[in-house]
Structures are given as structure tokens and as C-alpha cells.
Structure 1
Amino acid sequence: MTDHPLLSLTWTDPVTGRQGHLVVDRLVRGVASGGLRMRPGCTLEEVTGLARGMTMKEALHYDPDRPAGRYLPLGGAKGGLDCDPRDPEAYGLLVRYLRAVRPYLETVWATGEDLGLTQDVVDRAVREAGLVSSVQAVYPLLDDETAARRRLADAFAVEVDGIGLDELAGGCGVAESVLAALDRAGVPYAGTRVSLQGLGTMGGATARFLSGAGLRIVAVADLKGTIAHPDGLDVEALLAARDAFGTVDRSALRPGDLELPGDAWLSVAAEVLVPAAVSYAIDAADADRIGARWIVEAANMPVLPEAETVLARRGVTVLPDVVVNSGTNAWWWWTLFGDIGADPDEAFAHLRGSMRRLVGSVLARAEADGTTPRAAAHAIVAERLPVITERFGGPV
């Protein structure tokens, strides 16, 4: 990969003075894919790292040795806004940002929800900004744009037990990553304990799928603190008690559920930690408190490099974000391009199969190379990008 992104810009809102960023790391077939996040303190450096991660996710889901489906790889990009999504000025800021970057959204950047934003909010703001869709840059690559847009709209309208299919897709991929790691290690699902940071779109769906597989969710952290129970939490009750930002109404807790400090999710007794909220969640000081065997990165960039070094020395396996949470992006494109339809069983089966193959290949490569899963994922990407460039164009 090139050392520098193809495009990097910072926009300053003329109304509030807040900043927004856009980074296009790489174009493939003339387009880059990556979500738009909103959080206080979001920086250009953060967005640059996320855009590079999207390039990797696209490459990891393109296996040159397997028969290709209709969806073929795109490049990587990311957008970010430095604002609390709960701020009364947040929505207006979002609309003005989208208007400012409209030429890129119309031609090269296909985006969607990310941390702090839901797809319905993004869609509403996109329309107000005068755009057709947040993914309209991809439309020229489609065989039948009308049918593709209808297929994606149908998929977004599907709910499974009260939660949208679009919200469940990413969590299905994260959960399958956990299960694949347990299977490879010969660890049974029943009795395996999981602690999550975040019960929003990704964390909530992950908790549902892991609980359904027989794992025990023993702790969940949100903005108010950590909720824990050593025998397992009532996941469905917590999901039903969430607000739009994933914060749980404490009146829904059962007798015996514990309310602990916000960082307690790191040190509760659990085999698996799933950071599913913010970037930079685990630093070197936190690493010494962690007793889990696996950390599965549902969020983007949650484990700082110095922390991962400490954890690796202690034998803790970190499954990297570019693998674990790549299912959301892949589900969008599989659906839009027509590899799957709006049926949840079909979507989950496709996700599970793809994530199983991907996690298995990364863990096997790490074992063969004597390195970490993150290094293994980087090695696979480094091998695939020249092939993608040869077949579809775009700089190495």
C-alpha cells in the first residue's frame, strides 16, 4: 500500500467552527467505501487510520483463488465529525458537512452509518443535503441500479425479533469471529464468558448472537458504567431497554445485576472481551488488568499498539478490527450487488461462511508465520492488493 492516502481534507463548519474530515485511502474501480462517524474529539489522524482499515477490509473479503460473486472489491475511505451526536447542533452540522463534501459522495465515496450515527439519520441528512443516496457513487458499477436499490431498501426494512437486519449483520460477523476462534482452540461455547464495551448497533447484535450460541454475557459497559452478573445478564431485556445511543435504562436491571464503574468491563472474569464502542479503548495500562484469553475488536482501532504488544507477550490473542467487524461493509455490498437478497437466513448464512473462512485463514497464517493475527491480516492484504490492482485498477 502507498504510505499516504489519495485524498485527505479537513472542513471547518462556518456556523459552529467544528471540524469534519474525509480521507480517501485508495480507489478501486474508481470508488472507495467507508462509513461516517461522529464523536467528540474525532481527528484527521483517526479518520486516516480508519480509511486505511477500510482498504484492508475490502481486500480481505476478496479472495483471488475463489470464484467471485457479483460484488468485487472497492477502495477504502472514511469520514468523521468532531461533535457529540447528542449535541443539539449535531444534525445541522451533519447536513452542512454532507453538502460540503457532496462532489465526493456523488463520484467516489460510498458511505453509511458508523460510530455515533445511525443509517436512518444519515439517510435523512443525505436527502436534505441534496444527494440521492449515501452510496450513489457505486451506482455506475451496478448492472441494474433500480433492482439493486430496491433490494437494499427491502433488506433495510427487514426486522428480526424487533431489530433491523442492517443492525444485526455486523454483530453476526463479530459473533462468528468469536465462535471460529473458540472452535480452533477446542473451547466449548457453553460456559464461555464474554464482556462487552458498548451495546449499540454492533455490541448489541454481537451480544444477541453470542448469547444465542450458548455463551454467557457477564458484563456490558455503556456511558453510565458497567452492568455485570457472574451468572450472565438477560441480554434481550437489556436490548429492549436501550436508547438510540445504546445506553441501558437501569430500571430494567434484575435483582443481583451489579452496577460497576465504566472501566470494570476490562477486568471482570471472562474469557472473551469485545470492545464494541470507541477507538483507543485499551491502552498499555489497561492491558495489565485484562485476564481474558481473547480480545475481539468489534469497534475500529480499540486496542492501542503498545497494549497489543503487552497482551501478545502474555498470550492474549487480539482478533483485529479489519477482520472482525468487516461483515457490515461486506453485507451492504453483497446485498446491493445481488449476491444475497433481503432474506435474513440467507444473509446470516453468507456472513457466517465468509467470516469463518476469513478468520480461519488469518489465524492459520498467524500460526504459520509465528506472528499475531493483525500482522497476518496485513500480510494477506499485502499479497492481495497487487492482484486487485492488476485486475481492477488503483495504486499499490
Structure 2
Amino acid sequence: MTTAPLISLTWTDHVTGRQGHLVIDRLVRGVSSGGLRMREGCTLDEVTGLARGMTMKEALHYDPRKRYIPLGGAKGGIDCDPRDPQAYGVLVRYLRAMRPYIERFWTTGEDLGLTQDIVDRAVAEAGLVSSVQAVYPLLDDEAAARRRLADAFAVEVDGIGLDELAGGCGVAESVLTALDRAGVSREGTRVAVQGFGTMGGATARFLARAGLKVVAVADVKGTIANPEGLDVEALLAARDAYGTVHRTALRAHDAELPAGAWLSADAEVLVPAAVSYAVDTANQARVTARWIVEAANMPVLPDAEDLLSARGITVLPDVVVNSATNAWWWWTLFGDIGADADEAFAHIRRSMRALVEQVLTRAERDGTSPRVAAHAVVADRLPVIAERLGWYA
């Protein structure tokens, strides 16, 4: 996975001077898949790495028995704080500039800093049919598929949309699979989560309901901690649109700590679910957990992962752990599952458990890290996909 991407470009907004990037790492059947993020400081290198990761996520979910046939990998990124009053205008102009790619080659959706509602509204304002319209020609029945996906996005579970829960369900199942393989009881296993937006919040909910104890949650205001366990449902109900918890929801024994305190939490599992590059060679020394489970994209720097591994800390890689978000869209659109929460969660759990088991088994067999094992699985599958579907067309 070291080849240059197929397409790499940078756009400059003529109004604000802000820059946006698009990288298409690979096409399969002429189409690629990957979300659009918006954050201050987003770079082309970052988007390139994310696009390569999307190629791997797609390949990891390849199953010739399913209707969903993986696409290529891509990613978009805009260098702008999503809270900036000008951010929405920048987003609309970026989408207009990328219109030829969205119409034919790139399917996209929410990522860090953006919700699907905002993406959909901006897509319509930019004159596009849908953020995933490039995939429509590959569908057997476009009208039925679009209706099924729209129905799925309308499903809510305890006040949270199914689309916001799918990825967290996959992350949680990754954690549970690792615990089960290690013979560690779920009940009372302690977890710290960095980021309480779509992915972090959903992950915390699923883990708490599985019996684990969420002892720390970090957002932009700092870390909320309680060694006896936080009331995850109360915190979820007190979030704003950016995943920031209103502190009025805290209980008497919930402590407010600095933002980085989640990293050294007294927990068996850390779930970075916010920004990339959160764990570096310096702050990794503070980690005492047994597992780091990457719900965010690229949160652990490679050199930091080497140091963590040397200390016996296992990193479950993002290309595996957070891949259910993307896969759920396509399982639904192509018709492998319907617009039903129970069916979606069962399919996600089954698929993610099988994938994590495969990666961890390969890592043990080859004496490598889970990330190296995941890359090896991808290296096995990409030629199979290319032979069946071609490199580009």
C-alpha cells in the first residue's frame, strides 16, 4: 500500500483562501468511497493517508457472496474549523468544485467535523443529487436502493439515529472480540474514550450496555472521569452537535480533568475516537491500558505504536476497527441488509467479529502486530478484487 494515489488535488476557496483536498487512492468498477472531514489544519498528507486507509477498509470487507462489492478508497478534507461562521459556505463551494468527481468517481459522507445532515444540505445546495450518486449506476434497482438507505437513515434507537450508531457498534464489537479472545471478563472492564461525537458516543453506549465500565470521556472542554463508572446515557443526552457535553449533566462524584487525562486513565481499554495523531512518541509513555482500539482514523503515530507494542500494549488498527460505518452504508444500499436496526446490528457484529478474529489470528500466526496482519489480508485480497473487477473500470 505504498503506491502513489490515482488522483490527488488541492483546491483553494476564492472567498476565504481556505484549502480543501481530494485524494482518490484507487477505483474499483470506476468508483471510490471515503468520507469528507473538516478540521483546522487538515493537510493533503493527512487526506492521502486516510484515502489509503479507505482502500484497505473496502478490501477487508470483500465477500464475493454478498451484493455489496467493495469500491476503491478515497477521502476529502477541508482545512477549516467547522465552528467557523464561514465554514458552511466553504463546504458548499468545495462540493461545487468537486462536483465532477462526486458525480462520477467519489462517493462521500460525514467524517470528522461534519454530520451527514450538514453534508446532505450542502450537497443539495451545491447542485448535486446525492453525496453517493457515483455508485448509483452499479445498483440493480436504484430507486429501491435509495429508498432503503433513506429509510435506514430515518431509523432511531433510543433517540439516536441508526447511521450514528453503526460505526460505534463495530468498534464495540472489536473491543469485545479482543476481550473474549484474551479470556477477560466484560463485566467491569474499564474503558476511556477520547471524543464523544458520533463514533465515540455510540461506542461508549454499546460498551456500557455490554457490561463494561466507561470511566473517562474526553471532549474539547476536557476529560470527565469517574472510577466507579460514568452515566453514559446521561452524558449522551447532554451533548451538543459537536459532541461536547454540557457539564450540568455531571453527577457529584464525576470529576473534571484536563483534556489529555483520558490517555493515562486507569483502564484496560483506550478508545481514541476523535482526531488523528492523538498518541505520539512522547505521550504514549502515559498509557497503562492493555489495548488501544482506534475508533478514529490514524490516532496513533507509527513510532508511538512501536513503543507501545514493546511495552505489551496492543493497538487494534483503524482500518479494521472503524470500518463498519462505511460498510453499513453499502450493505444497506446494495441490499445485504434492510432498514432495520436489529438486522443492522446483528450483521455488523457478525462481520466485525469475523474480521477481528481473522486479523488477530493472523497476527499471532505470523508474529506481527494486528496492523501488519490487516495489511497482509488486504495485500491478499486486492489482486483478487482486481482480477474479478479490474483495476479501474
Mapped to 2, the partners of 1:73 and 1:298 lie a distance apart of: 21
2:365 corresponds to which letter in structure 1?
A
Match 1:264 to one of 261, 265, 268: 261
Q: For residue 280 of structure 2, what is the aligned residue in structure 1?
A: 283
CA drift of 1:287 comes to: 1.1
Mapped to 1, the partners of 2:65 and 2:229 lie a distance apart of: 41
Q: Could you list the runs of 4 or more consecutive aligned residues of structure 1 that deviate by over 6 angstroms after TM superposition?
A: none
Mapped to 2, the partners of 1:268 and 1:373 lie a distance apart of: 23
| Secondary structure class of the residue paired with 2:130 | coil
1:364 corresponds to which letter in structure 2?
T
| Secondary structure class of the residue paired with 2:170 | helix
In the alignment, structure 2 segments of 5+ residues that lack a partner are: none
| Secondary structure class of the residue paired with 2:282 | helix
In the alignment, structure 1 segments of 5+ residues that lack a partner are: none
Q: For residue 250 of structure 1, what is the aligned residue in structure 2?
A: 247
TM-score, normalization: structure 1? Answer: 0.98
Q: For residue 17 of structure 2, what is the aligned residue in structure 1?
A: 17
Deviation per CA, 1:225-264: give whole Å up to 9, x if none: 0000000000000000000000000011000100000000
Mapped to 2, the partners of 1:306 and 1:221 lie a distance apart of: 24
| Secondary structure class of the residue paired with 2:286 | coil
CA drift of 1:68 comes to: 1.5
Matched, 1:379 2:388: no
Length, aligned pairs only = 392
Identity value in percent: 81
Match 1:334 to one of 331, 334, 358: 331
Q: For residue 91 of structure 1, what is the aligned residue in structure 2?
A: 88
CA drift of 1:394 comes to: 1.1
Mapped to 1, the partners of 2:294 and 2:19 lie a distance apart of: 27
TM-score, normalization: structure 2? Answer: 0.99
1:1-396 alignment runs, 5 A limit: 1=1, 3-63=3-63, 68-394=65-391
CA drift of 1:57 comes to: 0.2
Mapped to 1, the partners of 2:142 and 2:348 lie a distance apart of: 23
Mapped to 1, the partners of 2:65 and 2:333 lie a distance apart of: 15
Mapped to 2, the partners of 1:47 and 1:2 lie a distance apart of: 14
Mapped to 2, the partners of 1:106 and 1:328 lie a distance apart of: 22
RMSD in angstroms over aligned alpha carbons? 0.7
Deviation per CA, 1:330-378: give whole Å up to 9, x if none: 0000000000001100000000000000000000000000010000000
Deviation per CA, 1:159-203: give whole Å up to 9, x if none: 000000000000000000000000000000011000000000000
Mapped to 1, the partners of 2:340 and 2:98 lie a distance apart of: 34
Mapped to 2, the partners of 1:50 and 1:376 lie a distance apart of: 18
CA drift of 1:2 comes to: 5.7
| Secondary structure class of the residue paired with 2:102 | helix
Mapped to 2, the partners of 1:291 and 1:148 lie a distance apart of: 46
Mapped to 2, the partners of 1:73 and 1:392 lie a distance apart of: 10
